[in-house]
Amino acid sequence: MTALDLSSPVAVVGTGTMGQGIAQVALVAGHPVRLYDAAPGRAREAAEAIGARLDRLVEKDRLTAADRDAARARLLPAGTLAELADCSLVVEAVLERLDVKQELFRELEGIVDDDCLLATNTSSLSVTAIGGALRAPGRFVGLHFFNPAPLLPLVEVVSGFATDVTYATRAYETARAWGKAPVACADTPGFIVNRIARPFYAEAFAVYEAQGADPATIDAVLRESGGFRMGAFELTDLIGQDVNESVTRSVWESFFQDVRFTPSLAQRRLVESGRLGRKTGQGWYDHGGGAERPEPDTAEQRQPPAYVVAEGDLGPASDLLALIREAGIPVREEDEDNGTRLVLPSGGQLVLADGQTSVEFRDVVYFDLALDYRKATRIALSASQDTAPQTLAEATGLFQALGKKVTVIGDVPGMIVARTVARIIDLAHDAVAKGVATEEDIDTAMRLGVNYPLGPFEWSRRLGRSWAYALLDDLHLRDPSGRYAPSLALYRHAHASDKREGTAS
């Protein structure tokens, strides 16, 4: 089924920030739009606010004056739900309470035509549960826009258990006709983005709780090594600690308190103290006037090693060999099966984070994963109390000679970027195996919904089929709570590769 005809009226119920944004998207696309809000006068105020935003688009040459005037003429505030009777699509953006939404849609079902598409913009409630209150839940879908709706392209089109594919397709095609990037998703806690993004926050908080590093340092490593737009601490301060924790808790409870989604105690304490981020002036960071942003921990300058010995090709970190040579440091290569380490003149080893800890070995310094070792401006190292000072100094000097800032964190298995990316990859494979979405839609959702530098499957292909499984398996041995246990889907993915390559044992 094709998208709704532009002559079809679209209604938005709920005129907060998200409701206004969705209405603006439909309006600019060319639909007549009706606005309704239960609070008297709110719909008219919202229409005026949308009109003002259209004026700003004209000022920025993003909309012609004629198109603005035509759009304003198509925008009508409604005084009652009955005025939405002729609409072909009604999108709800009201309070995130199941009973409120169910009651609204029960009322709408008695007003609109039988073929009218009914949609919820919920981000945390079950689409199936909301639609379960309807006589005909087949026409009920989730249309989850991201804030601000006029700017962010992603829309998760969520099919509830009873949603008819005809209506899901209509919703998908309509979102695409509005200039959005829709992705199809089954009704699962968190849908795609809020389900798969949990480790980005959880692992940063876990490193902090283990006293591996402070928030400013963790954020810097995620940005400058991992390639993420923002670190987890600054991003949750922007979102609001209460909002972010609420989503995490909702996903955790909806998955019957699955340990993989366990909320952070440190974040809970932040919420309890009223330190909610930018909106209260204090969160992980101080956002008060004149407050200085704390600097990430950065190692002092050290001398680079006279040479390094490369045992193997370093796997996902293989680009480092060329960088080391370009820095004028001789590289002696030794062939070794499964070798993925650099040996320093002191005899110590430099190893890519693999889920193990430095304290387990005689003299090992771990270095974290980078999105692009050539472009990365910071590299994190991890060492234990037993690591020889000379080994750590040589490792620090090596990366500094490559033009990188160096951060030394605690002896945290999987470090920061590596464990985060591995867990994101795992949840993505698990989601595909359970029919939540396709690999392509998951990659699209994570790049457009939360600005990840790569989608999980793009990361997986770049790092190798067994990389995430091997790292998580080692992490699981050191933390057998189940938090890091690789999913069956990731296990199958890694071992299927082994069979094709003839290396299965």
Q: Tell me: the pLDDT tens digits for 230-239?
A: 999 999 999 9
Q: Say if CB 304 and CB 397 are below 8 A apart.
A: yes
Task: Of 154-168, 231-245, 301-315, 484-498, give the lowest mean pLDDT range.
Answer: 484-498
Tens-digit pLDDT profile for residues 143-183: 999 999 999 999 999 999 999 999 999 999 999 999 999 99
**SS3 of 287, please?**
coil
How many CB atoms lie under 10 A from the CB of residue 389?
Answer: 9
The DSSP secondary structure of 30-92, one letter per residue, reads T--EEEE-SSTTHHHHHHHHHHHHHHHHHHTTSS-HHHHHHHHHHEEEESSGGGGTT-SEEEE
Order of strands, sheet of 364-367, starting from the edge strand that comes earlier in the sequence: 331-334, 308-312, 340-343, 349-352, 364-367, 378-382, 405-409
For residue 144, the cross-strand partners are: 156
Tens-digit pLDDT profile for residues 456-467: 999 999 999 999
pLDDT score, position 502: 44
Q: Residue 498 — pLDDT band, cuts 50, 70, 90?
A: low
pLDDT score, position 236: 98
Task: Please give the structure tokens belonging to residue 221.
Answer: 């490593």
**CA–CA dist 71, 67 (Å, integer):** 6
As annotated, the active-site residues are: 123, 144, 156, 194
- Helix-then-strand count for the chain, H and E: 19, 15
pLDDT score, position 503: 42
pTM to 2 decimal places: 0.95
pLDDT score, position 380: 98
Query: Does the pLDDT at position 37 exceed 70?
Result: yes
Q: Residue 501 — pLDDT band, cuts 50, 70, 90?
A: very low
pLDDT score, position 120: 98
pLDDT score, position 496: 87
Task: Output phi, psi for 260, to 5 deg.
Answer: -65, -20
Summary mean pLDDT of the chain: 95
pLDDT score, position 338: 63
Q: Say if CB 225 and CB 231 are below 8 A apart.
A: no
Q: Say if CB 359 and CB 386 are below 8 A apart.
A: yes
Q: Say if CB 9 and CB 100 are below 8 A apart.
A: no
Tens-digit pLDDT profile for residues 77-130: 999 999 999 999 999 999 999 999 999 999 999 999 999 999 999 998 999 999
**CA–CA dist 11, 87 (Å, integer):** 6
Show the beta-strand stretches assigned E in 68-206: 75-78, 89-92, 117-120, 140-145, 154-159, 181-186
pLDDT more than 70, % of the chain: 97
Alpha-carbon distances, residue 499 vs 132, 493, 494, 502 (angstroms): 45, 10, 9, 5
Which of 412, 381, 428, 416 is closest to 202 using CA atoms? 416
**CA–CA dist 272, 249 (Å, integer):** 14
Query: Does the pLDDT at position 274 exceed 60?
Result: yes
Task: Of 44-58, 176-190, 322-336, give the lowest mean pLDDT range.
Answer: 322-336
Residues whose CB falls within 8 Å of the CB of residue 98, separated by 6 or more in sequence, listed in order: 125, 126, 129, 130
Q: Say if CB 443 and CB 457 are below 8 A apart.
A: yes
pLDDT more than 90, % of the chain: 94
Tell me the angle at which helices 456-463 and 417-433 cross, rounded to the nearest 10 degrees. 110
Instruction: Tell me what the mean pLDDT of segment 299-328 comes to.
Output: 95
Q: Residue 289 — pLDDT band, cuts 50, 70, 90?
A: confident
Tokens 């990365």, residue located: 376
pLDDT score, position 290: 85
Q: Residue 242 — pLDDT band, cuts 50, 70, 90?
A: very high
pLDDT score, position 499: 52
Query: Does the pLDDT at position 362 exceed 90?
Result: no
Instruction: Tell me what the mean pLDDT of segment 268-290 comes to.
Output: 95
Q: Residue 335 — pLDDT band, cuts 50, 70, 90?
A: confident
pLDDT score, position 337: 63
For residue 141, the cross-strand partners are: 119, 159
Alpha-carbon distances, residue 329 vs 78, 347, 367 (angstroms): 72, 16, 18
Q: Say if CB 162 and CB 150 are below 8 A apart.
A: no
Tokens 């390559």, residue located: 501
pLDDT score, position 505: 34
**CA–CA dist 292, 326 (Å, integer):** 37
Which of 470, 489, 495 is closest to 338 using CA atoms? 470
**SS3 of 470, please?**
helix
Calculate the dihedral angle through the C-alpha atoms of 285, 286, 287, 288, rounding to the nearest 10 degrees: 180
pLDDT score, position 432: 98
Bridge-based pairing state of the strands 405-409 and 378-382: parallel
Q: Say if CB 419 and CB 202 are below 8 A apart.
A: no
